Structure formats: C-alpha cells, structure tokens
Structure 1
Amino acid sequence: MSIIGIYLAAGKSRRMGRNKLALAVGKKTLGSLALDTAIQSTLDTVCIVVNENDELSWLPERMKTHEKCKVVICPGSDEGQSASLRCGIEYARKIGTSAIVILLADQPFITIRMIDEIIACFQEHPNSKYIATAHDGTMKPPILFTRDLFPALLEVRGDQGAREFLHRAAADTGKQLPCHDPRLVFDVDDERDYAVLLSQLE
C-alpha cells in the first residue's frame, strides 16, 4: 500500500506580501519545517507542488535531492489551492498510489506522530475514504484521501481546498483524529502569524 504526501507550496503569499516559505526561522526556512517532518514520517514519497516562478531558494539542497522528495511544478497555481491539489493528485495517479496525505507548507508545527497516526488509522480502517485531523470542530490538514476520492477532488476549482470538499461532499465517509493542541494546526498567513511563530520558538 503506497501512501504519498502532497506538500502544497505553490501559494503566492499575498497576505504576507513576500515569499513566506523563504522566511527565516532560526537557521531554517518556514517552508522547510513541515517538509522535514514529512520526510521523517512513514510516507513513501513527498510530492512538493510549487508554482512555475519559484526559484526554490527556500528549499535546502538536501531536500531537493532527497530520495523521498519529488518537485512538481504547477503552472496554474494562480487559480488557487485547488490547482495545486489537482497537480499533486495527477502525480499520485501517475505513480499509482493508494492514498495521499495533504500537507501545507505553512504549517510549521505538525509532527511526525500526526502524520504516522493518520497513516496507521487508514491501515486499520482501509474502507475509510479519508482520515482528517480535527480541531475545535473543524477538519484541517494533514488529511489523507484514498484514490477513490481522486476523481471528485479533481473537480474542485478556485481557492477551495480539501477541507471545503470534505465538508461539502464526503463528511460521512471517513474518520477524524482529534487534535487538542491549536499550535499543531497553526498556519502562517501574515506578518502577525510570523511573529507568533518566532515567539513560540523563543
């Protein structure tokens, strides 16, 4: 059973006003933090979806050449997150994976355990269509989708992501793993969030 990560890193950082993935977090970059976690998890491969103008300055060389990493360019990323999602799913279909785990490049505090528990839950409940992280009544990434949902996910358009799809079309076909620590699902969208991130690491 092959399970790969789809690392969504093709956003335009409009709310930040600069490339947030390249923001310094100690000696690392914001965009490399969750990716490093994904690489250390039990995912078989991590597909890094980037926009066509990304020079990948935020991506350390060891990750560019890591055996688990595959960079996929998304030419239609201006459309929103759904375009990045479709690029990742097309790659997953091409290599014949059983399921994907959606990961956000701006979620710096996700853990190896979160990813591995999602994968383990799917292995224990193979008839589930999805396994989602749930915090405060809301489903959030990381989220696993089986290949049965790929056709429907490929129909998502605009800036909708996987979470909106779940609430609309597939909420009763999978499982939710509760996350009680808001820090673990925190994402960095603007300068205020970046300041919070740095303060959390002090």
Structure 2
Amino acid sequence: MTVAIILLAAGMSSRTGKDGFHKLLAEFDGVPLLRRMVTAAVDSEAISVTVVLGHGHAEQRNILSGIEVQMVVNPDFALGMASSIGVGFVATEAQDADGIMVMLADMPDITTEHLDRMIKAFQDAGAISIVRAVSDGKPGNPVILPRSLRDAVLEVQGDVGARHLIKSSTLPVINIEIGRAAELDVDTLEEVAAAGGVFVSASTT
C-alpha cells in the first residue's frame, strides 16, 4: 500500500508578491521554504514526490537543484488550486500509488515525521480511508486521498482543495493530530516573519 506526494507550489504568492517577494523563496534556518518542504517530503516513506510549479517556475527549479524529484508545471495555475491538484494526480510518478498525499508548499512546520505518521495511518487502515492532519481537532493539511477519488479530483474546478472532496465523499476520515503545523501557512510578510522566515532577496520571477 503506497502513497505518493503531490506538493503544490504553483501559486502566485499574491500577498507577498505585491511587495516584491515570493513567499516560497523565504529562508527558514537558511533554507528556502520550497526546498525545505520538498526535502521533508522526499525524506518520508512516500514512494514518490511530484512538485507542481506555476508562477516563477524557472527560479523554483533552481531552488530545487540537486534534489531527485519530479517537477511538473501547471500552465493554468491562475485558475486555482484544483487545477494544480489535477496536474499532480495525472503526473507519471503518482499514477500507480494507492493514495495521494496533497501537501501545500507554504506550511513551514510540517515535518517528515508528520508525513510518515499519516502514511502509516493510511496503510494501517487498508488504503481505503481519507487521512487528514488536524490541529486541536480542526481540519488542516496535508491530506491523503485514496486512489478511488481520482476521478472526483479531476472534476473539481476553481480555487478549492481537498477539503471540498472530503465533504462530498462518503469515505471514512481518519484525523491525525499534529498540532499547529496542520494550520500554519504563510501568506503575508508578517506571517513569514512570525514563523521564523527571512527574505534574503527581492525577486518576482
């Protein structure tokens, strides 16, 4: 029972972008956020990691230099998160997995240990349940979706993520408590700084 990870990094970073920064290039402990998140995913028990890029993908590829990971570009990233999830689901590396973990690239507190706990829970439940990270019981991210939801994923449109599918699905949901990491994302300069991030250059590419 295998899990492949789709890491969503295609957004325009509009709230930090207006100030000349892309949030995924902010450094945490000296490492760009995107590289930090991809490394956590690659070090997990997932069989593969596919990074979905969009806005600024040339610079993001450079950030990921030296990491063995599949990178795909979503040309329609401006249409919203659903299109990026769909691109990830049809990527070669994710095709044969029993479950797909949808992971956001702007959540700096997510660790390999968190990912492995979720993967184990998915496997222990027979790879037929949805597994969701929660913070004090509040739904968060990442989320593992069984292969049976693939067609439903590809039908979703707009700026919606896995939460929409979970609500409409009749599959059992397993919640994995990982604390504030499940809800901490960084969308503004203030949130980046509060989470310990630092912008070392002003780049809009």
For the aligned pair, the TM-score class normalised by the smaller chain equals 0.7 to 0.9
- The separation in 2 between residues aligned to 1:94 and 1:4, in whole angstroms, is 6
Q: Are the structure 2 counterparts of residues 171 and 134 from structure 1 closer, same or farther at C-alpha, using a change threshold of 3 Å?
A: farther
RMSD over equivalenced CA pairs, Å: 2.2
Which residue of 1 is the match for residue 172 of structure 2?
173
Equivalent residue runs for 1:112-191 within 5 Å:
112-126=112-126, 128-166=128-166, 168-170=167-169, 173-179=172-178, 181-183=179-181, 185-191=183-189
Q: CA deviation at 1:90?
A: 1.1
Percent of aligned positions that are identical: 26
May I ask how many residue pairs the two structures share in their alignment? 194
In structure 1, the gaps of 5 or more residues are none
Q: Indicate whether 1:95 and 2:95 are aligned.
A: yes
State the shift of 1:54 in Å: 1.4
In the TM superposition, 1:54-133 aligns within 5 A as 54-57=57-60, 59-63=63-67, 66=68, 69-91=69-91, 95-126=95-126, 128-133=128-133
| Matched-pair contact (CA < 8 Å) for 2:25–2:34 | yes
Matched residue type, 1:148: S
> Given that residues 110 and 185 in structure 1 are in contact (C-alpha distance below 8 angstroms), is that contact kept between their aligned partners in structure 2?
no
Whole-Å separation in 1 of the counterparts to 2:101 and 2:37: 13
Q: For 1:171 and 1:93, how far apart are their aligned partners in 2?
A: 27
Q: 1:52–1:30: structure 2 CA closer, same or farther, 3 Å change rule? A: closer
The 10-residue stretch of structure 1 (170-179 or 39-48) with the greater mean CA deviation from structure 2: 170-179
In structure 2, relative to structure 1, the CA distance for the partners of 1:59 and 1:52 (3 Å cut) is same
Distance 1:92 1:150, change over 3 A: farther
Aligned pairs for 1:22-33 within 5 A: 22-33=25-36
Give the match's secondary structure for 2:66.
Answer: helix
Secondary structure of 2:143's match? Answer: strand
SS of the aligned residue for 2:38 comes to helix
Contact 2:5–2:100 under 8 Å retained in 1: yes
Letter in 1 for 2:195: L
| Cα distance in structure 1, aligned partners of 2:29 and 2:127 | 42
Q: Secondary structure at the match of 2:192?
A: helix
- Once residues 171 and 111 of structure 1 are traced to their aligned partners in structure 2, the CA distance between those partners, rounded to angstroms, is 29
Q: In the superposition, relative to structure 1, how do residues 8 and 127 fare at CA in structure 2: closer, same or farther (>3 Å)?
A: closer
Q: Which stretch of structure 1 is more off in the superposition, 71-80 or 131-140?
A: 131-140
The answer to whether the aligner puts 1:198 opposite 2:165 as a matched pair is no
Classify the secondary structure of the residue corresponding to 2:150: helix
| Distance change in 2, residues 1:93/1:147 (3 Å) | farther
- SS of the residue aligned with 2:91? helix
User: Taking structure 1 as reference, are residues 178 and 104 closer, same or farther at Cα in structure 2, changes over 3 Å only?
Assistant: same
Task: Specify the alignment match of 2:203 in structure 1.
Answer: none
Letter in 2 for 1:84: S
In structure 1, the residue matched to 2:201 is none
Moved over 4 A (4+): none
The TM-score normalised by the length of structure 2 is 0.86
Q: Of the candidates 39, 44, 59, which is equivalent to residue 42 of structure 2? A: 39
**C-alpha distance after superposition, 1:88-118 (max 9, x if no partner):** 0111687322111111110111111111111
* Greater mean alpha carbon deviation, residues 78-87 or residues 127-136: 127-136
Task: Tell me the TM-score normalized by structure 1.
Answer: 0.87
